[in-house]
Structure 1
Amino acid sequence: MTDLAAPATRTSAEPKLVSYARLAKLDVYDYYLSLLVVLSAVLLPLADFDPAVLVTLAVFGVGSVFMTASMVAFDDLTGYRDGSDTANYTANPTLRRARRKPLVAGNLTEREVVRFGWVTGVIGAAILAAAVLTAPFAPQWAIWVTVAMFVLAIQYSYGLKISYHGFQEAFIAGLGWAMVLAPYGLVTGRFDGFVLVQALLFGLGPLLFGVYSNTNDIEGDRAVGRPTVAALTTPRGNRRFVVALSVGEFLLGAVASLTGIAPWWFVLLMLPVTVLRVRQLGIGFGPRGDILLARSIGFTAHRLGAVLLIAANLVHTS
């Protein structure tokens, strides 16, 4: 473990505020798109729209940002202490810039990161509690999803370290599911099958760029005993796992359309995401073998998927 008061060698000097923004991963907004998906599901007809919904979604969103900042800060802290971040982010600095990891870059100390993690965690808990207490509705299941989301997020790589006990992939998807289902329950007071399908698809988005990151980080994760699927299995087994997730994403929409849970046209609307998944697989696991480019395509696919979910809701409820 490094000295708490001494940072690693600085790769570049930058204002502390910038380093904290990097630590909080504020540029990665993919989970927060869930709030727009939920808004689109309840927006129409406009004559029946309750403005209180906007307040609840805004408060829930701010709480989620602080919660996520705490989660990723503690994740960076653990990754720095066990050496995995240093190995993964400095092995090829052209592809994985260490500046994204302020501890690795030497721009923040461990003490500063720990303080940031706890402060943002406490603020996030308070704001999420305010969202629940002031929401138009508060079904028990939505409250418990919110509580579980927060508790597990903080302990993703800290405390219980659930990502170090074989649950990393499940958590990445589950956080996306919760980020749709919890606010939807708070603003409507009900559970909806089509929204559940959307939540499941939304959660698969971060997972389907996360598994490509894990493929790139196999050596570092194995060295510290972080049991991702990529680290535990063979290259063929990992490829099959990623293919299964990609196919499962398509089948989820197809089955929902066939069974009437979703409109019949829903699977057709989501086909552009499927096309990107095929391209992602080809680039990541084909002859080119460019895992990090495939990972970046995963971001695009998830963001496009969120836009299409929003469109589906607006068409469905109009």
Structure 2
Amino acid sequence: MTDATLRATPSTAREAKLVTYARLAKLDVFDYYLSLLVVLSAVLLPIGGFDLAVLVTLGLFGLGAVLMTASLVAFDDLTGHRDGSDTANYRANPTLRRARRKPLVTGALTEPEVVCFGWLTAIAGAAVFAVAVATAPHAPQWTVWLIAANFVVGIQYSYGLKISYHGFQEAYIAALGWVMVLAPYGLITGRFDGFVLVQALLFGLGPLLFGVYSNTNDIAGDRAVGRPTVAALTSPRGNRRFVAALSLGEFLLGAVASATGVAPWWFVLLMLPVTVLRIRQFGIGFGPRGDILRARAIGFTAHRVGAALLVAANLVLAVTK
């Protein structure tokens, strides 16, 4: 697929500008926002004591997260377009990775438009987060610092300091998921909980375990621009071991939590469907067929199943207390 072909897609040329900006913001990828359901399930019961202010806090935090993430991915696309990595990566597999998800690659948006969108959503996100903290039932200092640090680092992910270009990409992908659970829980309850921490860690591993498959697919493009992901820095064998370790670590986290009493004894059994999906994902991605993008798609399913099981775990625990 040539640059001319990428820019000559009729459907892209005709679509409304609003839809193009939605593509830029990656609004169809809602996986991080599932954290709101996980947190809600942890505080919902008993229903008689539920405070409607919780929904306001969750709604504001969620809106702030959407705006911040929109800014993050817009700046990520801007940097990827400027260094040529997005064009190279999307040209490599135009059927499975649709180029029109990258409006700069197709020419549907210009760089000034993306920069403006990135800063407007960043400013709006900061304002909404501030309102969420100011109106929350609780605002412990650790929660406020967590939100602020995550926001500052997120905007710098591929822009400004470009932390993802200095070896911290995988760490931030997971950390964003951790914050998306811990921060709103802290705003609502004012406390820190061991089982919620376990859930946050598992939730953050979900996006990481489809992100590392994306990185495996993008090795050539990332190496060309000096983006040091684990996949780009190591050998195929080293990368395979890294992904295997993450997949095993996800299972062990739940197992150890159940064994030590941080989580209910049955928690590790409840999460077994995710483990089965991880085994299948790894086999498809790193087995004889080496279908990395299909394995990546399974990662989305595994994360969504995992989020649903975390919700179930919270509800069962509340009912059986």
Whether the TM-score (by the shorter chain) exceeds 0.5 is yes
Q: Deviations over 1:228-267 (max 9, x none)?
A: 0000000000000000000000000000000000000000
The CA distance in 2 between the partners of 1:63 and 1:108, in whole Å, is 24
Structure 1: where are the runs of 5+ without partners? 1-7
| Correspondence 1:310 to 2:311 | yes
What is the CA distance between 1:311 and its match in structure 2? 0.2
Show CA shifts across 1:282-315 (max 9, x none).
0000011000000000000000000000000000
Match of 1:4 in 2: none
Worse-superposed segment, 90-99 or 77-86: 90-99
Question: In 2, Cα distance between the equivalents of 1:178 and 1:95?
Answer: 31
- Counterparts of 2:249 and 2:92, CA distance in 1: 33
1:13-50 CA deviation, whole Å, 9 max, x = no partner?
A: 12111110000000000000000000000000111111
Q: Which residue of 2 aligns with 1:180?
A: 181
Question: 1:10 offset after TM fit, Å?
Answer: 3.9
User: In structure 2, what is the Cα distance between the partners aligned to 1:150 and 1:40?
Assistant: 25
Amino acid in the other structure paired with 1:236: R
Contact 1:10 1:107 in 2 (8 A): no
State the partner residue of 1:279: 280
Q: Which residue type is aligned with residue 181 of structure 1?
A: L
Task: Answer yes or no: is 1:111 the counterpart of 2:109.
Answer: no
TM-superposed CA distance for 1:9, in Å, is: 3.0
Counterpart of 1:168 in structure 2: which amino acid? Q
Report the equivalent of 1:9.
7
How far apart, CA to CA, are the structure 2 residues paired with 1:52 and 1:15?
Answer: 36
Structure 2 residue aligned with 1:291: 292
Residue number in structure 2 paired with 1:260: 261
1:215 matched to which residue of 2?
Answer: 216
The 8 Å contact of residues 90 and 97 in structure 1, kept in 2 or not, is answered as: no
Letter in 1 for 2:200: A
Distance across 2 between alignment mates of 1:37 and 1:92: 34
RMSD: 0.7
Number of residue equivalences: 311
Aligned residue type for 1:160: L
Distance 1:288 1:100 in 2: 26
SS of equivalent residue, structure 1 residue 180: helix
Q: Secondary structure at the match of 1:96?
A: coil
Question: TM-score, length-normalised on structure 2?
Answer: 0.96
Match of 1:138 in 2: 139
Report the counterpart of residue 302 of structure 2 in structure 1.
301
Partner of 2:206: 205
Match of 2:171 in 1: 170
Asked if 2 retains the 8 angstrom alpha-carbon contact of 1:56 and 1:131, the reply is yes
Q: CA deviation at 1:73?
A: 0.2
In the other structure, the counterpart of 1:156 is 157
**TM superposition shift of 1:95:** 1.6
- AA partner of residue 155 (structure 1): Q
Contact 1:23 1:101 in 2 (8 A): yes
Give the letter for the 2:222 counterpart: D
What SS does structure 2 have at the residue aligned with 1:171? helix
Give the unaligned 5+ runs of structure 2: 1-5
Quick one: distance in 2 between partners of 1:111 and 1:15? 18
For 1:81 and 1:288, locate their aligned partners in 2 and report how far apart those are by CA, in whole Å: 33
Q: Partners in 2 of 1:10 and 1:315 — Cα distance?
A: 52
Query: TM-score, with normalisation over the residues of structure 1?
Result: 0.97
Match of 1:100 in 2: 101
2:35 equivalent in structure 1:
34
Q: Which runs of 4+ in 1 moved over 3 A?
A: none
> In structure 2, the residue corresponding to 1:295 is in which secondary structure?
helix
Match status 1:52 vs 2:50: no
* 2-structure distance, mates of 1:96, 1:277: 22
